[in-house]
Amino acid sequence: MSYEPVIGLEVHLQLSTATKLFCACPAAFGAPPNSQTCPVCLGLPGVLPVLNERALEWGVRVALAFDCQVARVMKFDRKQYFYPDLPKNYQISQYDQPLAQHGHLDIAVGDETKRIGIRRIHLEEDAGKLLHEASPTESLVDFNRTGVPLLEIVSEPDLRSADEAHQYLLELKAVVEYLDVSTGNMEEGSLRCDTNISLREPHASALGSKVEIKNLNSFRAVKLALEYEAKRQAMALGRGERLPQETRLWDAKALKTEPMRSKEEAADYRYFPEPDLVPFVIDAQLIAQARQALPELPRERRRRYREACQLSAYDARVLTQHRAFGELFEGALRAGARPKPVANWMMGDLLAYLNANDLEPDALKLRPEWLAHLVQLIEDGTLSGKMAKAVFLQMLDQGLDPLQVVQAEGLRQIVDPASLERIADAVLAANPRSVEDYRRGKVNALTYLMGQAMKLSQGKANPQQIAELLKRRLEQANPRKERG
């Protein structure tokens, strides 16, 4: 029996507002422990929360980017639970009247686009952070994060594979990066993700028991955990077992999930309306302003690249994944380069460079016009493909304009026939054995001779010209073959 996975994702996004959600403490990451706290976020008696207006505006902006219906009236609720990182013993969140509902996000599945429902988006405050590393017998708590604004974005269970979940996260991260409301950095915890998965027989309408997975610290972890869990559940169902509804933890070292606790229901949290905050009316003007503040979103930019720059769907998708990547691309076009060669460099060598050095595109010290210069130097014949690759690395490693590199090192491809002939003759004279091999029908010998010619010219010989020249010389020196 094969089963169909039914997957939903809950993303917690930390908004990069200057201050916390209900007090004026700074919300910046990385300050000394417990240096950004006040009576409000420490939950001392007699204080009142005041909503951060910017967090509300940004929340509305995110909701509009996901095509959600923004609530006319939203309210906050207390979610009760005890944990040492939660000084109030409750978290201010939103229960039955969230900020926004009924949105969607389109993701790429192969060549198709699939629409994933967004059930709701709500505002809530973050908890503190427990540190267990300092000692084996004690834990420390840092309340700097307590009260930092979070947006929880809950998808419908519309995802059907770990790959789809991965695409959803990539697209979600791209949208919030374009909106500039969060760093979306998973390592710093500004984007956190829980997922839930159940299996059902294909086309069955009833859902299986939902298993929630926590402790997912990277997109890769989400994918691996979902793949693992789909397999584990399928085997259990295959043995005729009944799966409990539960919460499991992903163990990134052992690459498996472990049971954590049975799943809480909403009733376990004893939600009730936050008595210190009135319900908020979100007026039409605020929504209109947020809509006006929306930048071009990844899907719109993708459409523009396909239509105006004639790029393939795949190229357009890769180039719009990061806002900084797209801006680099467009800057190179403004500097006069044609779209396709720039796209090829970015998607080939540049992506490989980013991956090899574990860098995000905005960490590059690369000016867009340098990419244009590189492409122009190839197109006007100054650089061969091989030379361009070396210049490309200097451009990225040392932050140099390719024009500068070419001038400083006197780089120029050798294209004049007389010089190329001298190189070809020298190579043939120095390698009689390969010449003989070629005459006996070993066509591979040409590749070797080509390599020697490139070496002799320090990579500067025009590869097509020198190959043709060598071949012509070899054929001339091979009368038997000529006679057929």
Residues of this chain that interact with Zn ion (CB under 5 A) are 23, 25, 38, 40-41
Using the minimum distance from each CB to Zn ion, give the nearer residue, 23 or 474.
Answer: 23
Using the minimum distance from each CB to Zn ion, give the nearer residue, 41 or 62.
Answer: 41
> What are the phi and psi torsion angles at 51 (to 5°)?
-70, 135
Q: Specify whether the CB–CB gap between 63 and 74 falls below 8 A.
A: no
| Residue for token pair 């789809």 | 164
| Closest CB 124 distance from Zn ion, rounded Å | 15
Strand partners, 149: 125
d(CA 406, CA 272): 69
| Closest CB 152 distance from Zn ion, rounded Å | 21
Hey, what amino acid is at 169?
L
| Closest CB 148 distance from Zn ion, rounded Å | 10
d(CA 361, CA 351): 9
| Closest CB 19 distance from Zn ion, rounded Å | 8
DSSP string, 181-215: S----TTTTSEEEEEEEEEE-TT--S----EEEEE
Give which of 302, 315, 365 is closest to 341, Cα–Cα: 315
d(CA 281, CA 131): 39
Using the minimum distance from each CB to Zn ion, give the nearer residue, 145 or 248.
Answer: 145
| Closest CB 185 distance from Zn ion, rounded Å | 23
Q: Give ∠ CA 129-131-136 in degrees, rounded to 5.
A: 155
| Closest CB 279 distance from Zn ion, rounded Å | 23
| Closest CB 362 distance from Zn ion, rounded Å | 30
| Closest CB 38 distance from Zn ion, rounded Å | 3
* Number of residues that make up the chain: 484
Q: Specify whether the CB–CB gap between 90 and 78 falls below 8 A.
A: yes
Using the minimum distance from each CB to Zn ion, give the nearer residue, 39 or 451.
Answer: 39
| Closest CB 93 distance from Zn ion, rounded Å | 17
Using the minimum distance from each CB to Zn ion, give the nearer residue, 37 or 257.
Answer: 37
Using the minimum distance from each CB to Zn ion, give the nearer residue, 27 or 237.
Answer: 27
- The percent of the chain in helix, strand and coil, each rounded to the nearest 5, is 45, 20, 35
| Closest CB 1 distance from Zn ion, rounded Å | 54
Using the minimum distance from each CB to Zn ion, give the nearer residue, 41 or 107.
Answer: 41
| Closest CB 20 distance from Zn ion, rounded Å | 5
In 66-213, which ranges are continuous DSSP H helix? 162-179
Q: Specify whether the CB–CB gap between 237 and 199 falls below 8 A.
A: yes
Q: Give ∠ CA 191-269-99 in degrees, rounded to 5.
A: 50
Using the minimum distance from each CB to Zn ion, give the nearer residue, 38 or 293.
Answer: 38
Using the minimum distance from each CB to Zn ion, give the nearer residue, 6 or 15.
Answer: 15
Cα-only R_g, the chain: 30
| Closest CB 383 distance from Zn ion, rounded Å | 57
Handedness of CA 358, 362, 368, 370 (dihedral sign): negative
| Residue for token pair 């009924």 | 102
Buried b (16+ CB within 10 A) or exposed e, 116-153: bbbbbbbbbbbbbeeeeeeeeeeeebbbbbbbbbbbbb
Using the minimum distance from each CB to Zn ion, give the nearer residue, 45 or 441.
Answer: 45
Using the minimum distance from each CB to Zn ion, give the nearer residue, 25 or 154.
Answer: 25
> What are the phi and psi torsion angles at 370 (to 5°)?
-65, -40
**Residue 14 half-sphere exposure, CB side, CA atoms within 13 Å?**
23
Say if strands 246-251 and 211-216 run parallel, antiparallel, or are unpaired.
parallel
**Tokens (6 digits) for 158:** 């519309």
Using the minimum distance from each CB to Zn ion, give the nearer residue, 43 or 341.
Answer: 43
